[in-house]
Amino acid sequence: MSDLTEPVTPLLELRGVTKIYGSGDAEMKALAGVNLSIYPGEFVAVMGASGSGKSTCMNILGCLDTPSAGHYLFQGIDVGALSRNQRALLRRHYLGFVFQGFNLLNRTSALENVELPLIYRGTAAETRHRLAREALQAVGLSDREGHTPGELSGGQQQRVAIARAIVTGPKLLLADEPTGNLDSARSLEIMALLTAFNRDKGITVVMVTHEPDMAAYARRVVLFKDGLIANDQPQAGAIPC
């Protein structure tokens, strides 16, 4: 019997990805040939100065933008070969998003906000309600399901946003400055949630942050500079939650 194990396939992979905006004198190369592999179950923090390429990279990973050159593979499938509708289906069924500004519908209850991705999927109402309530319970907001965003604190709004992101059971959670609008105490609560979903549910997390204290929760930090990855290393001392 061989004791060799099968190599693990990356969940997502960038191969020589370039992204150019504009043309002529106005041309700007946001990504200059990025190679990156992220494996199932990882928690990766993406850092870098403004204009370093980290946000462009996240938009490509989230199928919100496409490379000018190179390849983005998700579970071995070349995303660049997919149609716009197919990329939308990939986002709908495999990805969850958390944003700095929460992006909740203001006149809609917490429960209804969390249900939105399931509505886009065509999930039956009874199942939709059950899954949304379970997601709110998972973020500690069972008693706030009828509240609108205006009736919730910033930390509670971000919890609703996380519930919305994980209600579909995504393979990948993309978090763009998820603590950027929160105070220190609420930031720690949000990081504890993201860490728990990564650890307990196996959701791969890729988080853009400019805060070293938040990046300390990740098990790997990727640093962008001038459209390239300047450093990519594991963190043995990631903060446990």
**CATH code, 188:** 3.40.50.300
Decide if 148 contacts 160 (C-beta within 8 A).
Answer: no
* Count of other CB atoms within 10 angstroms of residue 175: 27
Domain with 53, as residue range(s), is 12-74+83-104+170-234
**For residue 171, which phi and psi values (nearest 5 degrees)?**
-75, -35
Q: Is residue 152 part of a domain?
A: no
Sequence-distant (6+) residues with CB within 8 A of 6 are: none
What is residue 27's predicted lDDT score, i.e. its pLDDT?
A: 87
What is residue 87's predicted lDDT score, i.e. its pLDDT?
A: 93
Q: Is residue 56 part of a domain?
A: yes
**The pTM is what?**
0.91
Element (H, E) at 190: helix 184-201
What is residue 188's predicted lDDT score, i.e. its pLDDT?
A: 94
Q: Is residue 34 part of a domain?
A: yes
Ranges of the chain whose pLDDT falls below 70: 1-7, 237-241
Average pLDDT of the chain, as a whole number: 92
What is residue 4's predicted lDDT score, i.e. its pLDDT?
A: 58
CA atoms within 13 A on the CB side of 184: 2
In whole angstroms, give the CA distance from residue 33 to residue 232.
15
Give how many domains the chain has, as a whole number. 1
What is residue 5's predicted lDDT score, i.e. its pLDDT?
A: 59
Report the SS3 class of residue 131. Answer: helix
Decide if 40 contacts 11 (C-beta within 8 A).
Answer: yes
CA atoms within 13 A on the CB side of 79: 29
Q: Is residue 159 part of a domain?
A: no
What is residue 131's predicted lDDT score, i.e. its pLDDT?
A: 97
What is residue 3's predicted lDDT score, i.e. its pLDDT?
A: 53
Q: Is residue 208 part of a domain?
A: yes
Q: Is residue 198 part of a domain?
A: yes
Which region holds residue 27: left if phi is over 0, alpha if psi is between -120 and 50, else beta? beta
What is residue 240's predicted lDDT score, i.e. its pLDDT?
A: 62
What is residue 1's predicted lDDT score, i.e. its pLDDT?
A: 45
Q: Is residue 162 part of a domain?
A: no
Q: Is residue 130 part of a domain?
A: no
**For residue 107, which phi and psi values (nearest 5 degrees)?**
-95, 15
| β-strand pairing of 69-74 with 12-21 | antiparallel
* CA-based max dimension of the chain: 62
